Each structure stands twice: as structure tokens, then as C-alpha cells.
């Protein structure tokens, strides 16, 4: 029997086959057969272990791939922003496979949990997430060439209606995000400015049909210009100072924003 665990491996079946076969051809044959079974089992368990650690990472709110390990205060805004980023990453990872719909549903459920913990109960935000998932499933289904023409047209019409509802929901969600509980935070802090600016941009592009433009997206928070540069953001203040800002995560606590003056 082949026994595998995430942190150690024992292969008594493989060892027995190679130790007790006296004929060299028997050794080769046994090694080949058992070896194939072993590596098949190993690959299967490796996938399971990978999934297990991924879920633990999500539970611990390590939601930003490649983020800094810098410690510091966490905030509702940064935790929500990290959750939105992680949701988009999960959706990209799931791809366009119809069989991955449980993964997409799970990612949506996890994002709703983060919304509840940061913004509070928001029917509008929950609905926005549901519509995004539904849109993705429609687009994937419509790629099926066996789909009836009339049903395809119905789904196209429904997609238009969903986009209209999403546009109507976004201003409400932006307002909820802007007024979320922010105990101990000052609206004038650069980190807070960066967080809310990036959240505004994240909500704007959430479930958006348009692609990213040539210029990096930016928005104003009071008199500060916040620019999304992908792996980090910048804040340019009214007096011309520029800050480099990045998210960091703290296990089992949430996420925060760290900004450093560069000019």
C-alpha cells in the first residue's frame, strides 16, 4: 500500500517490489509498474495538499499574492481591497471551464464573507457579486456551439440587463465603501487616501466589460491623486509629494496599506 502525506512520504509497496525480486527483469518490471502507480498517487496527493494550503491561506486572509510581509495596522478598507484582488485572481485561475463553476461560486462566497466583516451587510454589494458570477457563467455557456440560437439571443439580452443593473449598483456600493467603519483612521493619512482611492478604482472596474486603457487608472480622493500601477499604487498630494503604497497581509487579522515618501 502506498501512503502519502503532505509532509512525509512512505512507499512500502515500491520498496517491497524492488527489494525482494531476485531476477533483474522482474525488478525492472515491478519497479516500472509500481513506480507509475506511485507517481500517479503522488501527483494526486500533491494537488490535494496544494488545495488545502490554498484554503488555509484564504482563511488567514493572505489574500494578496506576492504581497509584502511588512507588519503594521490592519484596516477594513485594506482588507476589503485585498479580498477584491483575491477574488479576481481566483476567477482568473478558474478560467473558462464550465466544470470549474463550484470554484467560482466558492470565491464569490468568500468575498461576501469579507464584505460582511468590513462593510457590513450590504444587499447591493452581495448582488453585485452575484451578477458578476452569473455573467461569467453566461459567457462560458454561450461558447458552447451546440447552444440553440434562440437561447443564445436570450442570454445576450440578459447580459445587457445585468450590465445595466451593475452600473446602477456601483454608485451605491462606492458610497457604502466610502462610509465603512474606520476606527482609528484619519481621512488625511496617506495610507487611508491610498486605500480608499484603490477601493474606488476596484469597484469601478468590478465586472466591467471594458478593457484596461493605455494610461494607468487614477482617481481623486479629496485633493490627492491616487494611481493604480498594478502591484503598487502612488499618491500625489496637493503640495506635490509622491508616495509609493503597497498592501500587506497579517495572518488571521486582515490587511493594511503602507506608504513611503519617494519625492
> Are 26 and 97 part of one and the same domain?
no
pLDDT digits (tens, 9 = 90+) for 55-98: 444 434 333 333 334 568 899 999 999 999 999 999 999 888 89
* pLDDT for 43 beyond 70: no
What pLDDT, on the 0 to 100 scale, is given for residue 113?
Answer: 96
Number of domains in the chain: 2
3-state SS assignment for residue 217:
coil
pLDDT digits (tens, 9 = 90+) for 141-159: 999 888 899 999 999 999 9
The domain containing residue 36 runs over which residues?
Answer: 3-54
Please give the average per-residue pLDDT across 187-212, as a whole number.
Answer: 87
> Are 16 and 134 part of one and the same domain?
no
* 187 or 25, greater pLDDT: 187
- Cα distance between residue 61 and residue 247, in whole Å: 12
> Are 26 and 109 part of one and the same domain?
no
pTM: 0.70
12 CB-contact burial (10 Å; exposed 0-12 / middle 13-18 / buried 19+): exposed
* pLDDT for 221 beyond 80: yes
> Are 220 and 186 part of one and the same domain?
yes
> Are 50 and 101 part of one and the same domain?
no
- Cα distance between residue 216 and residue 212, in whole Å: 8
Amino acid at each position: 500500500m502506498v501512503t502519502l502525506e503532505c509532509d512525509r512520504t512512505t512507499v512500502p509497496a515500491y520498496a517491497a517490489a524492488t527489494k525482494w525480486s531476485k531476477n533483474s527483469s522482474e525488478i525492472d518490471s515491478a519497479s516500472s509498474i509500481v513506480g507509475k502507480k506511485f507517481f500517479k498517487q503522488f501527483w494526486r496527493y500533491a494537488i490535494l495538499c496544494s488545495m488545502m494550503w490554498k484554503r488555509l491561506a484564504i482563511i488567514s486572509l493572505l489574500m494578496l499574492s506576492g504581497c509584502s510581509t511588512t507588519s503594521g495596522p490592519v484596516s477594513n478598507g485594506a482588507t476589503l481591497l485585498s479580498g477584491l484582488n483575491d477574488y479576481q485572481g481566483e476567477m482568473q485561475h478558474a478560467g473558462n471551464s464550465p466544470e470549474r463553476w463550484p470554484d467560482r461560486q466558492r470565491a464569490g462566497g468568500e468575498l461576501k464573507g469579507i464584505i460582511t466583516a468590513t462593510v457590513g451587510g450590504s444587499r447591493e454589494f452581495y448582488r453585485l457579486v452575484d451578477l458578476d458570477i452569473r455573467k461569467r457563467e453566461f459567457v462560458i455557456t454561450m461558447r458552447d456551439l451546440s447552444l440553440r440560437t434562440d437561447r443564445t439571443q436570450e442570454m445576450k439580452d440578459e447580459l445587457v440587463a445585468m450590465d445595466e443593473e451593475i452600473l446602477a449598483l456601483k454608485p451605491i456600493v462606492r458610497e457604502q465603501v466610502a462610509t465603512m467603519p474606520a476606527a482609528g483612521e484619519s481621512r488625511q493619512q496617506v495610507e487611508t487616501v491610498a486605500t480608499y482611492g484603490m477601493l474606488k478604482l476596484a469597484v469601478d472596474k468590478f465586472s466591467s466589460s471594458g478593457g484596461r486603457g493605455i494610461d494607468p487608472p487614477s482617481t481623486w480622493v479629496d485633493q490627492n491623486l491616487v494611481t493604480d500601477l498594478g502591484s503598487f499604487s502612488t499618491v500625489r498630494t496637493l503640495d506635490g509629494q509622491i508616495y509609493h503604497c503597497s498592501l500587506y497581509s497579517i495572518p488571521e487579522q486582515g490587511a493594511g496599506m503602507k506608504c513611503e515618501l519617494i519625492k
